[in-house]
A and B are shown apart, each in its own frame.
Chain A
Amino acid sequence: MAGRKTGEILLKAHNVVKKFGGLTAVKEVSLDVRAGEIVGLIGPNGAGKTTFFNCLNAIAVPTSGEITFAGHSLVSQISPATSRLVFRSGLLFALLSLLWLPLVLGVVWPETFFRLEAVLALSILALFRIYLLRPLSLFRPWSRLLLIIFVLVDGICAVNWLWRSPEFSEVSFFNLFPFYPLLVPGSLLLLLASLVLLLLFNLPRVKEAFGQHLRADVITRLGIGRTFQNIRLFSSLSALDNVKLGRHCRTRANFFGIVLALPQARKEELDSAEKAAECLRFVGLGKQLVSRAGSLPYGDQRRLEIARALATEPKLLLLDEPAAGMNPTESAELITLVRRISQAGIAVLIIEHDMKVIMNLADRIYVLDHGELIASGTPVEVRSNAKVIEAYLGAQHAASEA
């Protein structure tokens, strides 16, 4: 199978693990795809192939392992649950700080803001902020400092409030409080300091600490396109619109450009219509531009999905069982289509059950079983691998009994 030219390594997955609760769906799978190559990924049902695909384009976040694509690391080094928690906390935290500003203004000009509700709001906010800072303080000492500052500011403001509200004016403790003159400027100063700290330290440091987690749409822009096992088209849109959506990540017209009908935005729209039509012709759907995606025949929907993925101008195309449910003629067409894609310089990683298709197409094949990589190599090597035969026969055996 040395007929095709292959380039440098495009995608490299190393020891990828994905766990769902107690279940390990993918166990330390390593795999690489070179530019221009067609690589097959096979295995019995439930072997974790689709989960692995999902890990590759960040639909699922791997529990551990490294994935690099064209020089970019796609997975951050800290557990995704933690980084998500911290990110959310940070976001909510920033929001709360915004809400908190008016309350502090209320301290400075008490007659302008709220009655005793403010004390309630303030204490809820304070508790909430402490709760949110908890995950942050797990990581860096400076966030503990932030926590202390915020608690101080909240406390001072609350005391301020209690002191100022008429309902409590007869209570002697607050009248005796000796530092009252320092309270207002002090709390304002602390607030400013805490805001500065929040801005200076929070976002960049958090990012630095957790590494970049790339979202699916960013990965698509980097050049991984994919199709799905159970077709996921935008079924109420036309075929053309579906493919135009594929162009989305290669266009950049913004709200104002569109609304003001700027020439650049209009040109881009025409461009993407043209490119989309081209993609549709490429997969052989040139005549079905305006039909609703959901009303196309099954085989056409599969091809439409491929066209949509192609429109994103991928360097690597992930095909998840593209021949499922196809008759032999359609499968044969599919094989030619994938060949043509490969000839266009796009690497293809393909999951397929149809052995005829996969043996015909793939330069190399990886075999997964129960989440583990059990074999890899050229189709000929894989076909004669004992483990593979066992995995498949076992599966067939089980299937025939059920």
Chain B
Amino acid sequence: MLAAILDQSSLFLQQLVNGITLGSIYALIAVGYTMVYGVIQLINFAHGEIYMMGAFLSFSLLSGFFGFGLPFGLAVAVSVLVCALAGILLDVVAYRPLRRAPRLAALITAIGMSIFLQNLALLIWGGQIQSFPQNAIPALLSEPALQLGDVVISWLQVVILSTAIFLMLALHLIVHYTRIGRAMRAISQDKTAASLMGVNVDRVVSYTFAIGSGLGGVAGILVGLYYNAVYPTMGYFAGIKAFAAAVLGGIGSIPGAILGGGILGLAEVFGGGYISSSYSNGIAYAVMILVILVKPTGLFGRHLRDKA
């Protein structure tokens, strides 16, 4: 009897750990969606692909796919930087020319870019699941950090959670206490007014894309390490779930994205663990639809623009 209760409680604790890890990853991706939406009201469908690129770039740099290998730290830094640049490029090439076009045009372009990038990755890296070379990753990461009876927390999980927390805090500081952050908030309030006040809108949007994409890239690397799996369609599913998280938290709100990511991660793990795993993707879709229909502003969101 006691053993059964112990089992149940360690099952619960382990699932909690799994859920929080998953949630912090979703939160990192969701922030990218929410920042871009907050500033230019665009659902950047290609954000999931940036995340996928982060994973692939670090994989390639570590495994010598491009013909040379880099040490772990450098490879991560380069991948994140390239992701940030790719985000800017995405904005400049695809979205900026459509700033004045109807919102639908930008949205469709975003979908087009997503398809394009996904298939580009397929063409470059092939479709199969790739794994990081074992010797390129610090060995410590795969060791358990803490073992309490049946509950195991690996160093990787600790790293994921602490990275997520650290980056979120940094993001908070950037958005609230720097010039660029103030400019972002100004633009999200009123673009024309901000530009009249001397804010360089294009530059701020570029920064937004860079930060969001950089975070997406970090998430990509962490996921690649956590599951030890990198493949071209990873961005699609993670992107959808992260988007659902962003919607749940209230799109445009950064704390909302964090909370939404956490809730969705836990819901998915507990749903998959206790109920059934066939519909674990469905949970994200259902949450997304229900939130949009019942409370489109999400948990923390601002009110939607008036349609008129």
Chain A residues within CB distance 8 Å of chain B: 59, 92, 115-117, 119-120, 124, 128
State whether B293 touches A115 (Cβ < 8 A): no
Q: How far is the CA of A92 from the CA of B290 in the complex (A)?
A: 11
Q: Does B135 interact with chain A (Cβ within 8 Å)?
A: no
Please give, as numbers and ranges, the residues of chain A lying within 8 Å of B286 by CB-CB distance. 124
State whether B293 touches A119 (Cβ < 8 A): no
Q: Does B278 interact with chain A (Cβ within 8 Å)?
A: yes
Complex interface residues of chain B between 274 and 296 (CB less than 8 A to chain A): 275-276, 278-279, 286, 290, 293-294
State whether B293 touches A92 (Cβ < 8 A): yes
Q: Does B271 interact with chain A (Cβ within 8 Å)?
A: yes
Most buried by A among B276, B278, B286, B293: B276
Contact of B271 among A59, A92, A115, A120 (CB under 8 A): A120
Contact of A117 among B278, B290, B293 (CB under 8 A): B278
Please give, as numbers and ranges, the residues of chain B lying within 8 Å of A120 by CB-CB distance. 271, 275-276
Chain B residues within CB distance 8 Å of chain A: 271, 275-276, 278-279, 286, 290, 293-294, 308
Going nearest first, the 4 A-B pairs with the smallest beta carbon separation are: A120-B275, A117-B276, A116-B276, A117-B279
B interface SS class: helix
Please give, as numbers and ranges, the residues of chain B lying within 8 Å of A119 by CB-CB distance. 275
Which residue of chain A is the closest to B278 with respect to CB atoms? A117
Which residue of chain B is the closest to A21 with respect to CB atoms? B303
Please give, as numbers and ranges, the residues of chain B lying within 8 Å of A115 by CB-CB distance. 276
Beyond A116-B276, A120-B271, 12 extra complex contacts between A and B, CB < 8 Å: A92-B293, A92-B294, A115-B276, A116-B275, A117-B275, A117-B276, A117-B278, A117-B279, A120-B275, A120-B276, A124-B286, A128-B290
Most buried by B among A116, A119, A120, A124: A120
Please give, as numbers and ranges, the residues of chain A lying within 8 Å of B275 by CB-CB distance. 116-117, 119-120
Q: How far is the CA of A274 from the CA of B308 in the complex (A)?
A: 32
Which residue of chain A is the closest to B282 with respect to CB atoms? A117
Q: How far is the CA of A117 from the CA of B278 in the complex (A)?
A: 9
Min CB gap B287→A, angstroms: 10
Q: How far is the CA of A124 from the CA of B279 in the complex (A)?
A: 14
Which residue of chain B is the closest to A89 with respect to CB atoms? B294
Please give, as numbers and ranges, the residues of chain B lying within 8 Å of A92 by CB-CB distance. 293-294
Q: How far is the CA of A92 from the CA of B308 in the complex (A)?
A: 25
Q: How far is the CA of A286 from the CA of B147 in the complex (A)?
A: 85
Can you list 16 A-B contacts (CB < 8 A)?
A59-B308, A92-B293, A92-B294, A115-B276, A116-B275, A116-B276, A117-B275, A117-B276, A117-B278, A117-B279, A119-B275, A120-B271, A120-B275, A120-B276, A124-B286, A128-B290
